[in-house]
């Protein structure tokens, strides 16, 4: 009799172990593609002084072409996985990711580098949109909230991993090593996915090519406007044209999707308060996090004199809540309710950013690290709840599209956060510079690197660093205010959704 009962126990243990390996693999490849968004920012000084000699505009697109392609294609790649097989699309995505990184690592010109970055972005879109979809199908319903919470935390951890890993690789003195190191990691991930990940049921819906093209083009126009805003000016013809074209394309996309029988993404889904709250919340969370990553790298290097490696390691306190708190979030959310959990999460993120905005070059690192932990607590609470809200709003057979939708919100928030904080930082930095550093037309250096190059005395050097610190503090403070206000909107939307669900449940009973 003992022999009979040990068989299902052993089988259950093997099943749990395999599910754990699948979860670990899917989280690892997710961390990889998110980390690549953050890591490239640390390579900017080396790219500027390297053999490619990119102009300021070219440098902007070396950094942002990956995010742009990533965000534009993540929903179509999710639909592709739903239709032709999520495991296959994810594996191909990792291979493309490795190929694009190899092209970037060996690029002799900026044009080749941009091709490599775009190919890597296509691969990343395949990975992020299908990793969560596979996880949802591979995990039993009772274990799904915890698995989603861990996966969601890995998306936040990816930004920090990019800073730490990127900092370590760039200590070699060459930006090329950042891309070289990614190739074997991505190929190992592809092999692990091919061996471990289960095949999931396919959705035989059509691919909606017209809707796909319109949505991709509209998202591209929106991101071009956001990315070019700080560089070209928010009132420039390029930026205004991009926003107008994006609005027209989104309008055309809505018209087309309302008429086709099987739309790529039905616009009527956004009537669901839970979906709206989840998408807005994801955008706001990554708006704040990636704005922080953008200014943090420069602040620690210029204001506090940290090396690239030390700068990457210095953000580790942010990861502590993400690593150790994810498993508890479903329990906390079940006890307090998702609305209170989300409200507390954005309060932690906003307050933590306010705390960081008070930091100066003389602030002890310990105090700086404490504020990072506060922000990490907010991110650890927000990301699992928001991810679950979006996933729970759509049927399981559209898990790839749902994953793509939240990934789009995430990447748009990241791009917008960098653009907004970059604009505020530059404006405040220039206004805080002494008049002696302006030329006859009143123009001044736009970056701290340019300012330090112009500084010909120790006093001028200190003035540049002081201006930068002033600009960084102001920029982080504005981001904190925006995050808190937007967090209130997300909380209100979440409360409305829960109230609507409660009424529907009461009517059913």
Say whether pLDDT at 136 is over 90. Answer: no
Torsion of CA 226, 434, 41, 27, to 10 degrees: -80
Q: Which domain holds residue 216?
A: 208-223+233-254
The answer on 218 and 139 residing in a single domain is no
Long-range residue pairs from 354-357, CB within 8 A, at least 24 positions apart, any chain: 354/477, 354/480, 356/292, 356/476, 357/473, 357/474, 357/476, 357/477, 357/480
Say whether pLDDT at 373 is over 90. Answer: yes
pLDDT at position 5, please?
Answer: 47
Say whether pLDDT at 192 is over 80. Answer: yes
The answer on 408 and 387 residing in a single domain is yes
**Considering the domain boundaries, does residue 137 fall inside one?**
yes
Least confident of 149-153, 194-198, 244-248: 149-153
Structure tokens at 387: 């991810």
Mean pLDDT for all residues in the chain? 84
Find all residues with CB under 8 Å of 132, minimum gap 6, and list them.
26, 30, 148, 151, 387, 391, 399, 402, 403, 406
Say if residues 38 and 417 touch (Cβ distance below 8 Å).
no
Say whether pLDDT at 91 is over 70. Answer: yes
Q: In which band, very low, low, confident or very high, does the pLDDT at 1 lie, cut at 50, 70 and 90?
A: very low
Q: Measure Cα distances from 128 to 70, 491, 501 in Å.
A: 9, 26, 29
Q: In which band, very low, low, confident or very high, does the pLDDT at 343 lie, cut at 50, 70 and 90?
A: very high
pLDDT at position 84, please?
Answer: 85
Of 266-275, 367-376, 392-401, which has the strongest mean pLDDT? Answer: 367-376
Q: In which band, very low, low, confident or very high, does the pLDDT at 3 lie, cut at 50, 70 and 90?
A: very low
The answer on 394 and 383 residing in a single domain is yes
From CA 72, how far away is CA 99, in angstroms rounded? 20
For 397-425, what is the mean pLDDT? 80
pLDDT at position 7, please?
Answer: 47
The answer on 449 and 321 residing in a single domain is yes
Closest CA to 71 of 421, 391, 404: 404
Structure tokens at 235: 């009132």
The answer on 361 and 246 residing in a single domain is no
**Considering the domain boundaries, does residue 263 fall inside one?**
no
The answer on 134 and 248 residing in a single domain is no
Say if residues 301 and 32 touch (Cβ distance below 8 Å).
no
How many helical (H) and strand (E) elements, i.e. helices and strands, does the chain have? Answer: 18, 0
The answer on 149 and 14 residing in a single domain is yes
The answer on 280 and 219 residing in a single domain is no
pLDDT at position 441, please?
Answer: 59
CA torsion sign for 482, 325, 159, 361 is positive
Angle at CA of residue 181, ends 176 and 185, nearest 5°: 150
- Tens of pLDDT, residues 414-450: 888 888 888 888 888 888 888 777 665 556 777 777 7
Angle at CA of residue 38, ends 33 and 42, nearest 5°: 135
Find all residues with CB under 8 Å of 61, minimum gap 6, and list them.
114, 227
pLDDT at position 105, please?
Answer: 93
The answer on 219 and 197 residing in a single domain is no
Question: Which CATH number do you get for residue 347?
Answer: 1.20.1250.20
Angle at CA of residue 288, ends 284 and 290, nearest 5°: 115
The answer on 328 and 248 residing in a single domain is no
Find all residues with CB under 8 Å of 457, minimum gap 6, and list them.
none
Q: How many CB atoms lie within 10 A of CB 452?
A: 15
pLDDT at position 438, please?
Answer: 66
From CA 334, how far away is CA 472, in angstroms rounded? 38
Would you call 390 exposed, middle or buried from its count of C-beta atoms within 10 A (0-12, 13-18, 19+)? buried
From CA 257, how far away is CA 93, in angstroms rounded? 27
Q: In which band, very low, low, confident or very high, does the pLDDT at 8 lie, cut at 50, 70 and 90?
A: low
Closest CA to 165 of 289, 28, 283, 359: 28
The answer on 60 and 12 residing in a single domain is yes
* 3-state per-residue secondary structure call for 44-106: HHHHHHCCCCCCHHHHHHHHHHHHHHHHHHHHHHHHHHHHHCHHHHHHHHHHHHHHHHHHHHC
Say if residues 374 and 347 touch (Cβ distance below 8 Å).
no
Q: In which band, very low, low, confident or very high, does the pLDDT at 233 lie, cut at 50, 70 and 90?
A: confident
**Considering the domain boundaries, does residue 264 fall inside one?**
no
pLDDT at position 224, please?
Answer: 87
For 146-170, what is the mean pLDDT? 82
Helix (H) or strand (E) holding 184: helix 176-196
**Considering the domain boundaries, does residue 100 fall inside one?**
yes
% residues pLDDT > 70 (the chain)? 92
Q: In which band, very low, low, confident or very high, does the pLDDT at 6 lie, cut at 50, 70 and 90?
A: very low
- Tens of pLDDT, residues 46-61: 887 778 888 767 877 8
Say if residues 261 and 251 touch (Cβ distance below 8 Å).
no
Q: At what angle do helices 338-357 and 329-336 cross, to 10 degrees?
A: 120
pLDDT at position 443, please?
Answer: 63
**Considering the domain boundaries, does residue 265 fall inside one?**
no
From CA 62, how far away is CA 116, in angstroms rounded? 10
For 181-190, what is the mean pLDDT? 94
pLDDT at position 509, please?
Answer: 45
For 30-44, what is the mean pLDDT? 85
The answer on 194 and 242 residing in a single domain is no
Say whether pLDDT at 98 is over 90. Answer: yes
Find all residues with CB under 8 Å of 165, minimum gap 6, and list them.
35, 39, 181, 312
Q: Measure Cα distances from 184 to 70, 188, 191 in Å.
A: 21, 6, 10
Number of domains composing the chain: 2
**Considering the domain boundaries, does residue 349 fall inside one?**
yes
pLDDT at position 437, please?
Answer: 75
pLDDT at position 504, please?
Answer: 54
**Considering the domain boundaries, does residue 509 fall inside one?**
no
What is the per-residue DSSP string for 350-370?
A: HHHHHHHHT--TTS-HHHHHH
**Considering the domain boundaries, does residue 60 fall inside one?**
yes
SS3 state of residue 133: helix
């Amino acid at each position: 009799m003992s022999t009979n009962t040990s068989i299902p126990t052993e089988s259950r243990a093997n099943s749990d172990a395999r599910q754990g390996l699948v979860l670990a693999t899917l989280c690892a490849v997710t961390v990889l593609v998110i980390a690549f968004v953050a890591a490239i920012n640390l390579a900017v000084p080396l790219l500027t002084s390297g053999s490619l000699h990119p102009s300021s505009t070219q440098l902007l697109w070396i950094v942002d072409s990956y995010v742009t392609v990533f965000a534009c294609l993540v929903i179509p790649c999710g639909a592709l996985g739903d239709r032709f097989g999520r495991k296959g699309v994810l594996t191909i995505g990792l291979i493309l990711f490795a190929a694009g990184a190899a092209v970037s690592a060996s690029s002799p010109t900026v044009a080749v580098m941009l091709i490599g970055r775009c190919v890597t972005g296509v691969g990343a879109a395949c990975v992020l949109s299908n990793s969560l979809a596979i996880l949802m199908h591979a995990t039993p319903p009772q274990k799904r909230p915890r698995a989603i919470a861990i996966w969601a935390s890995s998306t936040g951890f990816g930004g920090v991993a990019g800073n730490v890993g990127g900092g370590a690789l760039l200590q070699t003195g060459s930006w090329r090593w950042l891309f070289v190191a990614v190739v074997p990691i991505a190929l190992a991930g592809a092999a692990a996915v091919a061996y471990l990940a289960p095949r999931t049921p396919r959705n035989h819906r059509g691919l909606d090519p017209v809707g796909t093209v319109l949505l991709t083009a509209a998202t591209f126009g929106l991101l071009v406007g956001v990315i070019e805003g700080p560089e070209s000016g928010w009132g420039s013809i390029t930026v205004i044209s991009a926003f107008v074209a994006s609005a027209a394309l989104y309008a055309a996309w809505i018209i087309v999707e309302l008429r086709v029988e099987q739309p790529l993404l039905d616009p009527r889904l956004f009537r669901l308060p839970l979906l709206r709250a989840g998408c807005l919340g994801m955008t706001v969370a990554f708006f704040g996090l990636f704005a922080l990553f953008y200014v943090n790298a420069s602040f620690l290097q210029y204001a506090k004199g940290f090396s690239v490696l030390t700068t990457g390691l210095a953000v580790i306190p942010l990861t502590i809540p993400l690593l150790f708190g994810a498993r508890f979030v479903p329990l906390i959310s079940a006890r307090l309710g998702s609305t209170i959990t989300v409200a507390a999460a954005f309060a932690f993120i906003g307050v933590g950013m306010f705390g960081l905005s008070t930091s100066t070059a003389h602030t002890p690192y310990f105090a700086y690290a404490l504020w990072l932990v506060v922000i990490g607590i907010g991110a650890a609470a927000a990301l699992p709840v928001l991810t679950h809200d979006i996933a729970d709003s759509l049927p399981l057979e559209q898990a790839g599209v749902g994953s793509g939708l939240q990934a789009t919100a995430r990447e748009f928030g990241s791009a917008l956060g960098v653009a907004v904080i970059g604009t505020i930082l530059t404006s405040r930095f220039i206004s805080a510079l002494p008049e002696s550093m302006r030329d006859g037309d009143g123009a001044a250096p736009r970056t701290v690197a340019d300012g330090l190059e112009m500084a010909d005395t120790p006093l001028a050097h200190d003035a540049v660093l002081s201006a930068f610190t002033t600009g960084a503090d102001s920029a982080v403070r504005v981001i904190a205010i925006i995050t808190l206000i937007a967090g209130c909107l997300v909380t209100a939307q979440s409360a409305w959704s829960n109230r609507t669900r409660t009424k529907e449940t009461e009517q059913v009973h």
